[in-house]
Structure 1
């Protein structure tokens, strides 16, 4: 996302403020400074910055375009500016917007604002968030463009009917910092981190299907995967520690790496949670009802092994231009092998991950593999910065064509993953669009892949 993290953390008073919600004693909840610290942590857990700051824009000033099937919804200014932001909001106004999706003027917010999840926040935490936004966020006198989407969404009153169909979380009670582990994990997952907003499939009315909670959903070109404890479709073979490591760093060795929207969530939210909260969140996710996936018949991170074939290439140098068309193996050598290695094993420390035992390459859906190649990876957490270049474009010039990316994806899934998905250039082209409408990537039934062999990690 935008390079605003340095401003963000200076506003959040540095690491002392983000030391954790549990560090703020409950008996000091009415003290403004304690509320400020608590509110700063809650705003980070709620990932408010991700939607309310556009790339290159000022912190919380809005203007980010969020794609929906009806068109782009533009996020609002939630700084202290009284004309363009929420500076004139009372605590009651703030609560109505946060938990009920109602602006100060009575108009309905669009549900890309996850108020159905934030509805579960305690009164104490709503007050802490309000205190921090009123005193810890700098006003920005900028008015984002108005959202213009298709009928009936352009009539905000239509959101009243949608709200009646959507199932909002029930407000929690008591002091959320004193909850036991599973209750705390439930609170984080359903209210603050709103995991279901991305990972739960939606019906034709775009309402979350609660009977399929966390079973996976399309997300603007990406696929937010099944994160239930299913051993084939989800993350049933992940331990609690695996999940904590992933949420803290964006990387779980031999399992998966965060990119796209999840990379942003790790960068701006989960990587800054306390270890205690991360374990609570992971423990809760590990015990939700498991849902199998008809496109996943084996754990996504269990496919493939390092290539051990001898190099029998001729050594002849071909011109890489329109006179010579490279195949998948040659595209891999030219674009991927320098970092991931000729064997696909990645680097010894797994800064560059292996391509086998890799959830993205082993998935029965190729959406995230295509999107990662198109958009690259750019994720910063307290543990360091991780990047992979975009092969979809380079200095406004197409780096790899749609046909080349299709060949590369098929090569990667055959060699290291779940088989031949017969991806074609048209599928890649549809996903290359700047604001693709969420839609599944059609794929042929994958051919049988080699039986997984536990790799010897370098």
Structure 2
């Protein structure tokens, strides 16, 4: 996708998700049943609403999260039931229009950072449960985050009316989603609630998802959301249903992959909280999505690599250097990575630090995700396990690596343990370091 189109995409997709409250309050319905509230809470978790509407250290759903985009900073809004600062004035009809049609209560358009093109597939019953939970169980917060102010043309919401005419939306489901059979339930989760295609499906020149390439992989704010179709070469066709369930529960499967960046957040806040039945339904559906091939992937990502020969290191082949500017990729790895991932790249025995071979990040046909992981690190919590790797972008306690050092390190790691030397340059790293919006 050309840079100008990508810039335009982020000005649209990350421009704002507010559900703006107005002055006249609707009559409150009678208190919903505990079962309906419990269902609404589960659905909100599956939809990962909290991730975008809670700032670090802030109150749940009170907004204030700042997301940098090429067109300016987006500030997520308060979606608690506070009548003045949140969505407390919304009727169920107002809520439904915002959720499934991208229309605010005042009639203005939302931007698809709020994934209404996916939520359009929600059943009436699930919309009702979500509304009940937000209005009756979420604690009102009397705070108004700063107003989003974007550069032209992203500040013109009226442009979304034309975009909506060409964008592909998920057809609404009917009936009780809790009674769907396994495959129908999996499709409902993937296409609507979990909105997997929002990240993993490439977009056309009109910036809408290419439905003919569903889940075939796409760039995502510096990261690359990989092909997760049933292709055995380019996708995850060699994974079992149990493999994918474990990944969605924990963010890690030894010998396959681990989650970081936006996917790490999705695992932490959403998929790790789904029931086993829903996880198996979601996995079963994804694993049968028609295969799409990618010329950048020559064989399964997880099939690359083997342990490095530790004897080569200990025999003196790593010559002593006194000038740090002379460090090559192998010296940089030895100084910064080997303590956790091992001199041979095998990681720790408990897999806390993953192996760098048989790893879909180092075996990928693109170096994007390895660069971003080195820059930003990993910070993921599932259950009682907190997985942490510091980033080397200079914003953590570890020493900052230069653009040249990170490029050398990426090329060494991918050549030694993965898909080969990708000739990553310092300029590529610098662009990701300075131009890429950070994930929430």
| TM-score using structure 2 length | 0.89
Q: Deviations over 1:327-378 (max 9, x none)?
A: 1111000000000001100011211110000000010111100000000000
SS state of the match for residue 387, structure 2? strand
Partner residue in 2 for 1:135: 136
Equivalent pair of 2:32/2:132 in contact (CA under 8 Å): no
Change (3 A) 1:315 1:151: closer
Q: Extract structure 1 runs of 4+ deviating beyond 3 A.
A: 65-73, 314-321, 394-398, 434-438
Q: What does the per-residue CA deviation read over 1:411-456, in whole Å, with 9 as the maximum and x for residues that have no partner? A: 0011001111100111001001264499xxxxxxxxxxxxxxxxxx
1:168 matched residue in structure 2: 169
Name the structure 2 match of 1:199.
200
Describe how 1:84-123 pairs up with structure 2 within 5 A. 84-123=85-124
The equivalent residue for 2:292 is: 291
1:232-311 equivalences under 5 Å are 232-310=233-311, 311=314
1:201-239: CA deviation from partner (whole Å, max 9, x where unpaired): 112222111111001111111111110011111111111
Aligned counterpart, 1:83: 84
Shift of 1:31: 5.2
**Structure 2 residue aligned with 1:313:** 316
How well do the aligned residues superpose, as a CA RMSD in angstroms? 1.9
Report what 1:34 is aligned to: 35
Measure, in 1, the Cα distance between the counterparts of 2:272 and 2:243: 14
1: CA distance between counterparts of 2:118 and 2:301? 29
Task: State the partner residue of 1:364.
Answer: 365
Instruction: Note the residue ranges of structure 2 that are not aligned, 5 or more in a row.
Output: 1-30
| Count of equivalent residues | 407
Q: Which residue pairs with 1:443 in the alignment? A: none
CA offset at residue 399 of structure 1? 1.0
Shift in Å, 1:69: 5.5
SS in 1 for 2:388: strand
Please say if 1:421 is aligned against 2:428. Answer: no
d(CA) in 2 for partners of 1:412 and 1:397?
A: 19
Deviation at 1:144, TM superposition (A): 2.1
Give the match for residue 393 of structure 1. 394
State whether residues 79 and 133 of structure 1, in contact with CA within 8 Å, keep that contact through their aligned partners in structure 2: yes
> Quick one: structure 1 residues 164 and 394, their matched pair in 2 at CA, closer, same or farther if it must change by over 3 Å?
closer
Give the C-alpha shift of residue 80 in structure 1.
1.2
Q: Give the conservation status (yes or no) of the 8 Å contact 1:69–1:437.
A: no
DSSP 3-state at the match of 1:360: coil
Following superposition, the deviation at residue 108 of structure 1 comes to 0.7
Q: Secondary structure at the match of 2:316?
A: coil
2:5 corresponds to which residue?
Answer: none
Call closer, same or farther: CA 1:229–1:69 in 2, change over 3 Å: farther
Alpha-carbon distance in 1 for matches of 2:205, 2:74: 18
Say if 1:202 and 1:209, in contact at 8 Å, map to a contact too. yes
Note if contact 2:302-2:359 (Cα within 8 Å) is conserved in structure 1. yes
Q: How far 1:397 sits from its partner (Å)?
A: 8.2
Shift of 1:32: 1.6
Q: Which deviations, in whole Å up to 9, do the C-alpha atoms of 1:37-91 show, x marking residues without a partner?
A: 0000000000001111122222111122345564443322101111221011111
- With over 3 angstroms needed to count, the CA separation of the structure-2 counterparts of 1:269 and 1:395, relative to structure 1, is closer
Match for residue 219 of structure 1?
A: 220
Partner SS state of residue 326, structure 2: coil
Is the Cα–Cα contact under 8 Å of residues 201 and 212 in structure 1 kept in the other structure?
A: yes
Note the C-alpha offset of 1:177: 0.6
Q: Distance in 2 between matches of 1:225 and 1:127?
A: 34
From the superposition, tell whether residues 122 and 229 of structure 1 become closer, same or farther in structure 2 (CA, over 3 Å): same
Ranges in structure 1 where 5+ consecutive residues have no aligned partner: 1-29, 439-458
Superposed CA offset, 1:159-212 (max 9, x none): 111111111111111110110000000000011000000101112222111111
1:148 alignment partner in structure 2:
149
Determine helix, strand or coil for the equivalent of 2:136: helix
TM-score (norm. length: structure 1) = 0.85
